[in-house]
């Protein structure tokens, strides 16, 4: 259990990296539907266990629809909706709504990611900008 905070932080970092490009769109730019495909992975150094997932993100206005599937096990599927709820001068926030989640096995590292979204329904993020370009998002620790 000593490695649980490390795994949780790593999973959170992966999620933040995959959400990082999306807040840079203004409301007028997000009126067109955009689709992004990427692959995320989790690796546990202690057990040398790895998990790879295919991610599809559909951006429509201020809404991100995400689908995560395991390419090695078509029974695993996660679908969720993230709606941007930020106010001027406030941290960037997404309201998470679960759509569908099916995991036939237990003990996967991705479970920590899903649990984080479920427990933090509206997690705030602090953007990091360098020369006018968004490079990363970090969770706001004031919650």
pLDDT category at 9 given cuts 50, 70, 90 is low
129 pLDDT exceeds 80?
Answer: no
- Please tell me whether the overall predicted TM-score, pTM, comes out greater than 0.85 for this model: no
User: Does residue 131 have a pLDDT over 60?
Assistant: yes
Q: Using 50, 70 and 90 to split pLDDT, how confident is the model at 70?
A: very high
Is the Cβ–Cβ distance between 102 and 119 less than 8 Å? no
Please report the pLDDT score of residue 142 as a whole number: 47
Q: Give mean pLDDT, residues 14-32.
A: 55
Q: What does the pLDDT look like over 77-123, one tens digit per residue?
A: 999 888 887 677 766 677 888 899 888 888 888 888 788 777 777 65
Contacts of 119 (CB under 8 A, 6+ apart): none
pLDDT of residue 30: 46
Report the SS3 class of residue 60.
strand
Instruction: Please state the rounded mean pLDDT for residues 26-36.
Output: 62
- The continuous run of DSSP H or E covering 91 comes out as none
Domain ranges of the chain: 4-139
Residue 105 backbone dihedrals phi, psi, to 5 degrees: -115, 165
pLDDT of the residue at 54:
92
Output the pLDDT for position 2: 56
């Amino acid at each position: 259990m000593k490695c649980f905070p490390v795994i949780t932080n790593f999973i959170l970092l992966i999620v933040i990296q995959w959400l990082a490009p999306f807040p840079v769109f203004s409301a007028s730019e997000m009126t067109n539907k955009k689709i992004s495909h990427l692959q995320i992975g989790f690796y546990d150094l202690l057990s040398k266990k790895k998990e790879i997932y295919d991610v599809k993100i559909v951006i429509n206005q201020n809404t991100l629809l995400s689908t995560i599937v395991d390419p090695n096990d078509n029974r695993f599927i996660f679908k969720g909706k993230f709606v941007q709820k930020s106010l001027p001068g406030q941290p960037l926030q997404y309201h998470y709504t679960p759509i569908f989640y099916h995991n036939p096995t237990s003990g996967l590292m991705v479970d920590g990611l899903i649990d984080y979204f479920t427990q933090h329904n509206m997690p705030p993020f602090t953007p990091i900008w360098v020369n006018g370009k968004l490079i990363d998002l970090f969770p706001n620790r004031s919650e």
